[in-house]
Structure 1
Amino acid sequence: MARPREFDEEAVVRAARERFWDAGYAATSMTDLSEATGVGKTSLYGAFGDKHALFMRIFDEYSTGAVKSAEAELDGSDAGAFERIRAYLLANASGSAGNPRGCLLARGTSELANADPEVAARAKCAYEGLSAVFARAVEGAQRAGDLDPSTDPRAVGDLILAVHRGTEALGRGGAEEPALRTLVETFLASLRSR
């Protein structure tokens, strides 16, 4: 009979996520993960498999959570759809300014997607999910009369995703909050003027 685990699995996953997020995948060893989690390497292997399997669990949970979080913030009545888009992008701009960590989804994608088909597929799924959430919000704003109904909601959803990801990348690179907020407001004004 297998012994019960002597650690809180979710706490270990959170600690491992923080380590991957801070250092990246390649710069994180199983020894690093053992030190970060307080769990021996043998136990980590037994519970999660190898480093890649643990990273994919973390990456998948984070990616799924990013889409669910966007849904929670953007879904709602048509009347408030444009303001929800605006608030979402401005909050991202504020959170991205001077934040060298950035988003784990973006970090993992940029580090691994070109060499790891599993990461690439998961990232693609997450980005498509985010774009679909943004497109639904655009459709709501169109029905409310806040955005031009002739624009393609899917194309605008992709643009919102690009601004969201671009704002974060600029923040990681040292862009300050006022500049990022101006970028967002300029983008949103361009949507209204179409």
Structure 2
Amino acid sequence: MLAHMPRPRKFLESDVVSSASEVFAVHGLAAATLDDLVRATGLGKQSLYNAFGGKRELFLRALSEDRAEAARAVAEALGHDDASPLERIRGHLLGLAIEFSSTDRRVSLTTRALVESTGDEDPIATSTRAGIEQLAGVYAQCLDHAREGGELPADANVQSLAVYFVAVTRGMELLGRAGVGRSVLTAVALDALRTIHGRRMDDTEQRVTLPE
């Protein structure tokens, strides 16, 4: 007698994870329901459990892929050789000001997890910190090149500056989600660059205020 063969899965896990990521980015882990995930992925509850182990495990899978994609996007933005390292960071930040001010853009899952993280020693907090470190590593590499090329002082702490840029960009993303416009986000980006140059805004420069 032939052994019973399991039925092949009729879905791509990557597609399911991508759809689930959209749900989690909008609602967060706690507020996202299994019904939300069923509607988004087209899978039944039992199929989701069989394939991924549950809602929390699916969230971790989506978070892992989101943070990897975020690091790839930053690396690509900073990887062009036709500009100096700080010019590349400048272009990257100004591009984010445009992207984050889009009214139809969702918050990335990495940023959503960062906001919801309790700091406890659990897999979600560990994965979130790994995402921060991954992004900081990409910025640090570019900043190290800037230091080697004389754009930054020889004693500049590139690791600290790299984390600073992670904080600035994640903050810009949340501000954009809250409805802050492109002009303000652009000013934030430019002031971040002024900070690493050790310059302050003077009275002749235009100042911006957050909308009421």
Q: Would you say same fold, with TM above 0.5?
A: yes
Distance 1:41 1:116, change over 3 A: farther
1:103 maps to 2:108: yes
User: 2:66–2:108: 8 Å Cα contact kept in structure 1?
Assistant: no
Question: Partner of 2:126 in structure 1?
Answer: 121
- Could you state the TM-score of these two structures normalised by the residue count of structure 1? 0.89
User: 2:26–2:107: 8 Å Cα contact kept in structure 1?
Assistant: no
Q: Which of 5, 13, 21 is matched with 2:25 structurally?
A: 21
1:71 maps to 2:75: yes
Question: Partner of 1:12 in structure 2?
Answer: 16
* CA distance in structure 2 between the partners assigned to 1:85 and 1:172 by the alignment: 22
1:61 maps to 2:68: no
**Per-residue deviation, residues 96-144 of structure 1 (Å, max 9, x unmatched):** 1255732210112222444571111111111112112111111111222
User: 1:89–1:184: 8 Å Cα contact kept in structure 2?
Assistant: yes
Question: Partner of 1:162 in structure 2?
Answer: 167
* CA distance in structure 2 between the partners assigned to 1:188 and 1:129 by the alignment: 21
Question: Partner of 2:139 in structure 1?
Answer: 134
Gaps of 5+ in 1: none
AA at the equivalent of 1:94: I
AA at the equivalent of 1:178: S
| Superposition deviation, residue 177 in structure 1 | 0.5
1:184 maps to 2:189: yes
Q: Which has the larger radius of gyration?
A: 2
Question: Partner of 2:37 in structure 1?
Answer: 33
AA at the equivalent of 2:197: R
User: 1:98–1:173: 8 Å Cα contact kept in structure 2?
Assistant: no
| Superposition deviation, residue 149 in structure 1 | 2.5
AA at the equivalent of 2:53: G
The range that moved more, 53-62 or 163-172, is 163-172
CA RMSD of aligned residues (A): 2.1
Find runs of 4+ consecutive structure 1 residues off by over 4 angstroms: 76-79
Distance 1:116 1:19, change over 3 A: farther
Work out the number of aligned pairs and report it. Answer: 194
**Per-residue deviation, residues 24-68 of structure 1 (Å, max 9, x unmatched):** 211211122111111111111111111111111001111122122
Distance 1:152 1:115, change over 3 A: closer
Report the identity percentage.
35
Which protein, 1 or 2, shows the higher relative CO under an 8 Å CA cutoff with sep ≥ 6? 1
Tell me which protein shows more helix as a share of its residues: 1
